[in-house]
Amino acid sequence: MAILEQTVDATYEKMLEKLRGVVPNFELRIKADLVQKINRVKAERNAVILGHNYMEPALFHTVPDHVGDSLELCRVATRTTADTIVFCGVQFMAETAKILNPEKTVLIPSDEAGCSLAESITASDVRSLRDAFPGVPIICYINTYADVKAECDACCTSSNAAAVVESFDADSVIFLPDEYLASNVAKETGKRILFPEQCKSGHGENGRLGQADAHDQTIIGWHGKCEVHERFTVEDVQNVRKQFPEVLVLAHPECSPEVVGVSDFSGSTSALIRRVRESDAEQYLLLTECCMGDNIAAENPEKDMLRLCSVRCPHMNQITLEDTLASLEQGRYEVTVPEDILLRARRSIDRMLAVQ
């Protein structure tokens, strides 16, 4: 993915070829200089850059050695021989790379790249759920911090959530923290969705899942939401369909079940990318983070990519080319995870990686 360039002009020409019409030319000129510097320092440090699909186009299409969704980048992180990993994504992703590579230096270009989902649940919340529902396996979405992963039995991404749920020989599982993803996975796996407070009100004593419920194929969810995907509405889809009746609507499963229900396809960021690549449709509406729409548009110039561009993740937006260069030059911000948490979180991640 990295551009092997001789001069800033050559870098600029390559970027222009890919990003013409997606990023203004004058911006590409400025960023070409940064890209060239980043690639030089990266080589000097024997570093690898991992870039999440939500990175802004001028970064996404230039400096990462690997791009992908959380699961793909996790897998890459287990194989790298670089001394330093720079994670162009948000904090929980960089933490995951550190958990998988405790002996390597892992850097994240900004210390302000959080996530509304990851912040919606704490390790103490998970311990309370474990007490309330003894014996019920707990699966957490990868969008959680290391101390939360450490309390869970497995983690998952949107690519493999249903497979991880089905890998447990249990009628009921707890699935945290995304309410919408839990509901969408419940539908996909033929389970019903309940929330802890519903279990308390008539589905068991003292908040425990009652015996009847335990045989009832239940996913117990949590009320976390992605502040980006929760903003898409059924009306958004209907309005676009009115204007463009042939449009193929693709939704990330962090969107509400109602939005997913009126869409043509739902899947992880990489599944959405593949769907656009493999489909013959001419027009697409992407219900996911806005920059990813730009990145797909850059790769599929012959296809029309509609996106609701007010929906940019403020956390992913913290990661810039400028900060990526500073990260490499100054070794900032180093990601650390206490050893006891790291070892327990690693078990959750390994349990997921073992699921094909």
Cβ nearer to ligand SF4, comparing 315 with 346: 315
Among 226, 255, 285, 352, binds ligand SF4 (CB under 6 A): 226
Q: Cα(38)–Cα(321) distance, rounded to whole angstroms?
A: 8
CB of 343 to ligand SF4, least distance (A): 25
In 3-state terms, what secondary structure has residue 37? Answer: helix
Which range of residues in 58-66, 99-107, 168-176, 224-232 is near ligand SF4 by CB under 6 A?
224-232
**Region 268-327 residues binding ligand SF4, contact defined as CB under 6 A:** 289, 313, 315-316
CB of 88 to ligand SF4, least distance (A): 12
* Residue 21 burial (CB count, 10 A): 10
Which range of residues in 80-88, 130-138, 159-167, 225-233 is near ligand SF4 by CB under 6 A?
225-233
Q: Which of 65, 7, 25, 14 is nearest to 324 (CA)?
A: 65
CB of 211 to ligand SF4, least distance (A): 35
Which range of residues in 60-68, 162-170, 221-229, 300-308 is near ligand SF4 by CB under 6 A?
221-229
Residue 114 and residue 315 in contact, taking contact as beta carbons nearer than 8 Å: yes
CB of 206 to ligand SF4, least distance (A): 32
- Sequential DSSP letters for 176-202: ESBHHHHHHHHHHHT-EEE-HHHHHTT
* Bridge partner list, 88: 51
Which range of residues in 112-120, 196-204, 262-270, 325-333 is near ligand SF4 by CB under 6 A?
112-120
Helix (H) or strand (E) holding 213: helix 211-214
Angle at 273 between CA 272 and CA 274, to 5 degrees: 90
CB of 253 to ligand SF4, least distance (A): 11
Tokens 């690639």 locate to 39
Cβ nearer to ligand SF4, comparing 252 with 346: 252
Q: Cα(227)–Cα(217) distance, rounded to whole angstroms?
A: 29
Among 50, 67, 181, 228, binds ligand SF4 (CB under 6 A): 228
Main-chain phi, psi angles of 195, to 5 degrees: -120, 155
CB of 294 to ligand SF4, least distance (A): 15
CA 109 to chain centre: 17
Cβ nearer to ligand SF4, comparing 247 with 311: 311
* Bridge partner list, 140: 155, 176
CB of 180 to ligand SF4, least distance (A): 11
90 binds ligand SF4 (CB under 6 A): yes
**Region 158-197 residues binding ligand SF4, contact defined as CB under 6 A:** none
Residue 301 and residue 273 in contact, taking contact as beta carbons nearer than 8 Å: no
CB of 73 to ligand SF4, least distance (A): 13
Cβ nearer to ligand SF4, comparing 28 with 292: 292
**Region 6-45 residues binding ligand SF4, contact defined as CB under 6 A:** none
- Sequential DSSP letters for 87-140: EES-HHHHHHHHHH-TTSEEE-S-TT---TTGGG--HHHHHHHHHHSTT--EEE
Among 11, 80, 116, 157, binds ligand SF4 (CB under 6 A): 116
CB of 70 to ligand SF4, least distance (A): 9
Per CB under 6 A, residues contacting ligand SF4 are 90, 115-117, 143, 226-228, 289, 313, 315-316
